[in-house]
Structure 1
Amino acid sequence: MAYTIDRYPSEDSPRLGAMTLHPVAESVPRARRWFRKFIAPYNPACSIDDCLLMVSELVTNAIAYGRSEDPWHVRVEWFREGTSLRVEVHNPGFPANVRLRHPDAADAHGRGLLLVDAIAESWHSGPSRCGGTVVSFVMADAWPA
């Protein structure tokens, strides 16, 4: 399987990096490893472990809920916006299907967005510029002003 990493954004883009992953379970730990490796040189002050947890949850959801008749990928991109870090996860699923659930204690699934909601400064879902859905989160004060 081929995977791609975009490490060098254009000078006019706030994008720090991006990766394209196959929609398979093995892509979740790969996303964590690559994100850790490629965000480290930027030395963010926010918790990388918190970011890794949220990336894991969003990539897992993207794989579980992405739908397309054609072969497809999960796209993860991360940006610096002033002092904040924004991470986006794109898939070909339907934006209307993204919802914050409140599972019962016995439910084995359904807590991913609850974790993102609890940890991130903010999060958003909607139509992706890549087609399909994007779910993103923002970590405030990732860098000094």
Structure 2
Amino acid sequence: MSAVERPGVPVCVVFAEVVGVLPASELSVVGDRGGCVLMAREARSVRRARGFVVRVLDGWGLADLADDAGLVVSELVTNAVMYAVPPAYAGVRVRVVRLAGGVRVEVHDASAAKPERHAYGRGLVVVDALTGGNWGVDTLRFGKSVWAELGGDTARARRQPPRGYGKAA
């Protein structure tokens, strides 16, 4: 895995620069306010994405959120690997953003199809429970971003029963 740090430069700017320069199958960029990793759309990326999120949160001193955020990103990447139908690009990008009271994790893929609950899967139920319903889907020019926020009021919200499919943004 290649990693780059450039303090003071927005992490997605660095990410775009590095992606244009380095041909890597897995590439990560981490800063003090955000981080992202680009990886192939394959089953082993689920474990890699979880490890990336846990390492980033540990590095930020947010180890108390690492287990839940790792599980959430595992579920979202699993959905991207299993159900996203990319038109051309077969990659997944995981982005972690540090918020004032917690963290936001995002999984970007090239499919426009929104995630759905499946009779044989409980991934979105888990995401909903861990985030207190604070998750949703953003439509992008090429594909979508499925996001979830943890921390702050999420711990209190988790004591309540899940509220459905999450919030659309």
Q: How many residues align?
A: 129
* Mapping 1:123-138, distance limit 5 Å: 123-128=135-140, 131-138=142-149
Q: Give deviations 1:54-84, integer Å, cap 9, x for gaps.
A: 1110001011122223232101101122213
> What is the identity, as a one-letter code, of the residue corresponding to 1:140?
G
Cα deviation code 1:123-144 (max 9, x no counterpart): 0113136x201111011229xx
Structure scoring higher RCO (CA < 8 A, sep ≥ 6) equals 1
Q: Any stretches of 5+ residues in structure 2 without a counterpart?
A: 1-23, 154-169
- SS of the equivalent of 1:58 reads helix
Secondary structure at 1:98's aligned position in 2? Answer: coil
Matched AA of 1:21: M
The aligned counterpart of 1:98 is: 115
Residues 1-145 of structure 1: pairs in structure 2 closer than 5 A: 2-8=25-31, 14=33, 16-44=34-62, 46-95=64-113, 97-99=114-116, 101=117, 103=119, 109-121=120-132, 122-128=134-140, 131-141=142-152
Q: Deviations over 1:22-58 (max 9, x none)?
A: 0011111111112211221111164311111111100
Alpha-carbon distance between aligned partners in 2 of 1:61 and 1:85, rounded to the nearest angstrom: 20
RMSD of Structure 2 on Structure 1 (CA): 2.1
TM-fit CA distance, 1:94: 1.7
Q: Write the distance in 2 (CA, Å) between the matches of 1:62 and 1:27.
A: 10
Provide TM-score, normalisation by structure 1. Answer: 0.78
* Cα offset, 1:102, TM superposition: 6.7
Which structure has the highest helix share of the two? 2
